Amino acid sequence: MSTDTAPAPAGPRHRAPAEQSAPDGQADPAARGSLTIAEKVVSRTVEHVVSGVHGATGASRHVLGMSLGSVDEDTKARVDASIAGDVATVRVRMSVDWPASIRNVTDQVRARIVDEVHRITDMRVGQVDIEVQSVVTDRPDEKRVV
């Protein structure tokens, strides 16, 4: 009898069904199907996390190195996520509000991403790359006092 095991698929996370039964004699819930978590779920989770960190905000779109539009409080961070087995890798493009410390804000963002992605998806975050595209000094709707 051969017992070959395939490596974890790249892309969405997939758990194979377990071959156990629960104490009440019913099939273990994990044995009734599989769970796949798409990369988009991780990306949306990270977008939400970034929006909840004081001093962190989204990033405007860039085309050929040129910024398109401005950053306001509703602008979301740009997030790319990839999954290999049970490990997520995340790339975040964001802005930081003036005069917040870029180092402190990005450290908070990174720590919250690791914690929240693990809490929500049960995945380990292997790497979080953060690119701060700008420091937001003025908001169009805020009045500037001189």
Residue-wise pLDDT tens digits, 16-57: 444 455 566 667 766 778 888 999 999 999 999 999 999 998
- Give the pLDDT confidence score for residue 2 in this predicted structure: 43
Average pLDDT on 57-62 reads 72
Q: What is the pLDDT of residue 55?
A: 92
Local confidence band at 75 (pLDDT 50, 70, 90 cut-offs): confident
Distances in Å between the alpha carbon of 117 and those of 54, 63, 74? Answer: 19, 29, 22
Q: Which of 102, 131, 132, 126 is nearest to 113 (CA)?
A: 126
pLDDT at 3: 44
* pLDDT of residue 139 exceeding 70: no
Over residues 112-136, the mean pLDDT reads 95
Do the beta carbons of residue 46 and residue 79 sit within 8 Å? yes
pLDDT on residue 134: 87
Taking the whole predicted model, whether its pTM rises above 0.75 is answered as no
Kindly state the tokens that stand for 34: 């599989």
Domains in the chain, please, with CATH?
37-136 (3.30.70.1350)
Residues 67 and 47: their CA atoms lie apart, in Å, by 20
Between 81 and 137, where is the model more confident? 81
Flag whether pLDDT at 63 surpasses 50: yes
- Mean pLDDT across 81-109: 96
pLDDT value for 20: 53
